[in-house]
């Protein structure tokens, strides 16, 4: 499971596209809710089917893109 801590002080929620690559590609989404906390809030990266588990090795590339 990939858990990402984010700090977003905007008023609107949005999703980020996520690409994870470690020999195979995973396409996923990262929901970014309004977060009034100064220390950031956590969000879980999930694949399109809702699966939040990824088969990762030591080296992987994690790319975020605002939708």
- Encode burial over 4-38: b for 16+ CB neighbours within 10 A, e otherwise: beeebeeeeeeebebebeeeeebebbbebeebeee
The pTM for the full model equals 0.71
What is the extent of the structural domain holding 43?
3-66
Mean pLDDT of the chain: 82
Q: Which range among 1-5, 20-24, 37-41, 57-61 shows the weakest confidence by mean pLDDT?
A: 1-5
pLDDT in tens, 24-49: 889 999 988 877 777 777 888 999 89
Please give the tally of structural domains in the chain.
Answer: 1
Q: Which is more confidently placed, 17 or 12?
A: 17
């Amino acid at each position: 499971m990939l858990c990402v801590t984010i700090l977003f002080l905007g008023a609107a929620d949005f999703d980020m596209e996520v690409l994870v690559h470690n020999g195979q590609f995973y396409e996923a989404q990262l929901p970014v809710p309004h977060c009034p906390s100064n220390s950031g809030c956590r969000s879980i990266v999930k694949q399109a089917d809702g699966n939040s588990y990824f088969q990762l090795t030591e080296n992987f590339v994690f790319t975020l893109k605002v939708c």
